[in-house]
Structure 1
Amino acid sequence: MPTQRKRNPNGAGTVTKRKDGRYQAAVYVLQPDGTRARKFAYGKSWAECDAKRRVLLTKVDQGLPVPTKSTKLAEWLPYWLDNVIKPRRKRTTYAKYEMHTRLYLSPMLGSHRLEALGPRHIRAFLVDLAGKTTPATAKEAHRVLRTALTAACREELVGRNVAALVEPPKVVSRETSPWSLDETLRFLQEARKDPLYAAFVLGIAMGLRRGEVMGLRWSDVDLDKREIKVRHQLQRIRGELYEDTTKSGKVRPIPLPLICVAALRWHRLCQRAIAERNGASVAPDSYVFTTRSGRPVEPRNLSRSFARLSAAAGLRPIRLHDTRHGCATLLVAAGVAPRVVMEILGHSQISITMDVYTHVTSDTQREAISHMDRLLKRRPGRE
């Protein structure tokens, strides 16, 4: 039998023999709330207890929390948000997760301890939440909870992710009907004199997201080569306007159609004229779309102007984001390959492009189905 150590170095824990003949290991470990507490492990032999001590010390070295008592969901969620989500995910994602945690998960499920949380609790929670809000909100809350419990499994706080055992509520997809080509042209005609005309052209002709349009800088625009590089997006979260990377985190170079080149040239001339009247100049890396005082345009104001101009043109109301749908539809109808459409719109998967953003027009459907007439009218033996 190997010689037993009676005393370990400071911070390495201890192994002692109890009066009942068993052995006890004690190690100071990190708690989910950031504090430290003493964790005990027991065994029939010194070697068994020492092995458990080493396992606890490994978790201490890795910074993993080891609760000394059963952790409630309401205690785990704040730790997960601040230490797992905040350092690794976008601020928009953190804000969305925090909102679901604060409004729904903690008040309605937070009193349950992690190891006692079962599928029936989550199923009842989803039914209750869908009734109070919408099935879409309940489905998103389920996704947040599943992500939080996945992290709890990685840190060995629970043995399984019970949220993954429960199906989320079914949500009826919102039917999107983007403008036709004629409606789009009517809008552009109405918006031609608006200061944000070039922004609308970029959204309609290139399918840029609202934040990407507002985050565009002149240093990312090359009108001579007819190309822009989409590398930023402008967002407002909790009252703060900030610049972030694109949704995919990648820089997206896109060729400019002539209608965008002309609109941007005119916009630059107008912007320089306003700056000169104010005794200022336009910096090479300044935002393309600014107010008269040179500050970035609020993304929400772009949506408001879009709605105002749509009503002035007598068009049926759609969201500004629906122009991305319309862009994909026009590109597909023009025969552009889906992979190219995906790269232009900045999607991470081709399925998103085809399933969500491609809305084939009735004229395209008629043209496609007309091929059946030629095929079925062919008589046997006749080529």
Structure 2
Amino acid sequence: MTDTPQRARRAGHGEDTIYWDAAKNRYVGAVSLGYAPNGKRRRPKVYGKTKTEVRQKIRDLKKEVQAGVKSPANYTVADAVNDWLERGLKGRDEKGTIGKNRSMANKHLIPLIGKAKLKDLSADDVDDWLDDRAEVLATRSLRDLLAILRRSIAHAQRRDKAARNVALLVTVPEGRPGRPSKALDLEQAKAVLAAARPSRLYAYLVLSLLSGVRAEEARPLTWDHAFLEPKEGIPPHVAVWRSVRKHGETKTRKSRRTIALPRQVVDVLEEHKRWQKQERASRGMEWSPTGRVFTTRSGEPLDAANVRRDFKAIVKKAGLKPEWTPRELRHSFVSLLSDHGIPLERIALLVGHSSQATTEAVYRKQLRPVITEGAEAMDDIFAEDQEEEDAEDDEEGDAVA
């Protein structure tokens, strides 16, 4: 038995009504939901091809109202994602966290399932979407993509725009193999540093490779946090307390650390400081009020694009393939220390991945404890090159004499 259009019965006070709308060629269900604070009657409408479909929509709508949720009929997945990007990430770095999530959503989420109404989105829809993306994305990227959808729907739930989060009901499929992390071996590392020697990025690369600081931690480093001539009994060190993230916070609370500097890094930074003062004086520029250790030619803070561009040229000059990135200097630091026999738990402490008491000491602005293992090992690893340079300098001095 099928539904046939019938003349609508006039609804009694507070009743729901189902009637045929010839203009829309659909059944219409008018739902009575009481009155708004302004005294206006709340009577939303739902539509369907049959009365049965309309009745089900009325029941679903009432369930949502009872649960305190009022899902807008035309609220889409794209609306939810954009709302989360706009309001759910307040305080996060616009170029970093927000930019990365927006880029992924605009490329892999919104064009494919963005038009779907959020209230109609099913777990099967999400599964199908992820399976499609698994053909072009690595598993980690799929996890990040699903996290965007989950957080967007959760954000909509907190604003009573979604009844449930179907993205929590699915698992991430296996994606394409990701790009493996790489690390420079000792000979490659020496070649990169040699190629960088005439570059203004030289001190930056030496610090990154021989101390393991993140790129986002090296770029905002100030001279106030580089202790090249500390008090007696304390080795030269840097206080890694800031990054380029929003409000200058490091990646995690554990990332705040104080690490000793290898002798070679100290020498390079001292030379870099003298050169920086001379450059500014020759150009008639005032000393940067921010006191950045690394700047552009115009004295502005370095950004990631500056570093990537110059690093690519240095890698090419060193005879390596241009696929290397600045962040892999940190991987190289870990690999070189591991090859040198430093225990992994100590390396984790150096790169800010430990939960030991050092973090608390740094928060109290104490210079102790300064982590020295990395500096001592790097002095040993690169000692041969330093000795050769010293010998060459001595020979040149004898020749001049």
TM-score class normalised by the smaller sequence: 0.5 to 0.7
1:198 counterpart (179, 191, 203): 203
Q: Secondary structure at the match of 2:213?
A: coil
Number of aligned residues: 300
Question: In the TM superposition, what is the alpha-carbon distance from 1:19 to its structure 2 partner?
Answer: 5.2
For the residues of structure 2 that align with 1:254 and 1:335, how far apart are their CA atoms? Answer: 19
Question: In the TM superposition, what is the alpha-carbon distance from 1:173 to its structure 2 partner?
Answer: 3.5
- The answer as to 2:128 corresponding to 1:124 is yes
Aligned positions of 1:290-309 closer than 5 A: 290-309=295-314
Match in the other structure for 1:96: 100
For the residues of structure 2 that align with 1:98 and 1:283, how far apart are their CA atoms? Answer: 33
Question: In the TM superposition, what is the alpha-carbon distance from 1:116 to its structure 2 partner?
Answer: 1.8
The answer to whether the Cα contact below 8 Å between 1:252 and 1:346 also exists between their aligned partners in 2 is: yes
Question: In the TM superposition, what is the alpha-carbon distance from 1:269 to its structure 2 partner?
Answer: 0.3
The answer to whether the Cα contact below 8 Å between 1:18 and 1:24 also exists between their aligned partners in 2 is: no
Match in the other structure for 1:83: 87
Give aligned-pair identity as a percent.
26
Q: Secondary structure at the match of 2:35?
A: strand
Instruction: Tell me which protein shows more strand as a share of its residues.
Output: 1
The answer to whether the Cα contact below 8 Å between 1:28 and 1:39 also exists between their aligned partners in 2 is: no
In structure 2, list runs of 5 or more residues that go unmatched. 1-11, 17-30, 45-63, 231-235, 357-401
The answer to whether the Cα contact below 8 Å between 2:70 and 2:162 also exists between their aligned partners in 1 is: no
Q: Deviations over 1:211-260 (max 9, x none)?
A: 2222111122111121212233347xxxxxx8743222664322222111
Aligned positions of 1:137-176 closer than 5 A: 137-171=141-175, 172-176=177-181
Compared CA separation, residues 285 and 90, structure 1 to 2 (3 A): closer
Compared CA separation, residues 328 and 40, structure 1 to 2 (3 A): farther
- The answer as to 2:336 corresponding to 1:330 is yes
For the residues of structure 1 that align with 2:92 and 2:113, how far apart are their CA atoms? Answer: 24
Compared CA separation, residues 135 and 183, structure 1 to 2 (3 A): closer
Compared CA separation, residues 38 and 157, structure 1 to 2 (3 A): farther
Question: In the TM superposition, what is the alpha-carbon distance from 1:145 to its structure 2 partner?
Answer: 0.9
Match in the other structure for 1:321: 327
In structure 1, list runs of 5 or more residues that go unmatched. 1-16, 30-36, 42-54, 60-64, 236-241, 351-383
2:119 counterpart (111, 115, 119): 115
For the residues of structure 2 that align with 1:280 and 1:89, how far apart are their CA atoms? Answer: 33
Compared CA separation, residues 284 and 23, structure 1 to 2 (3 A): closer
For normalisation by structure 1, the TM-score amounts to 0.67
Question: In the TM superposition, what is the alpha-carbon distance from 1:265 to its structure 2 partner?
Answer: 0.2
1:228 counterpart (238, 244, 264): 238
Question: Which amino acid counterpart does residue 35 of structure 2 have in structure 1?
Answer: A
Compared CA separation, residues 107 and 284, structure 1 to 2 (3 A): closer
For the residues of structure 2 that align with 1:96 and 1:38, how far apart are their CA atoms? Answer: 44
Q: Secondary structure at the match of 2:239?
A: strand
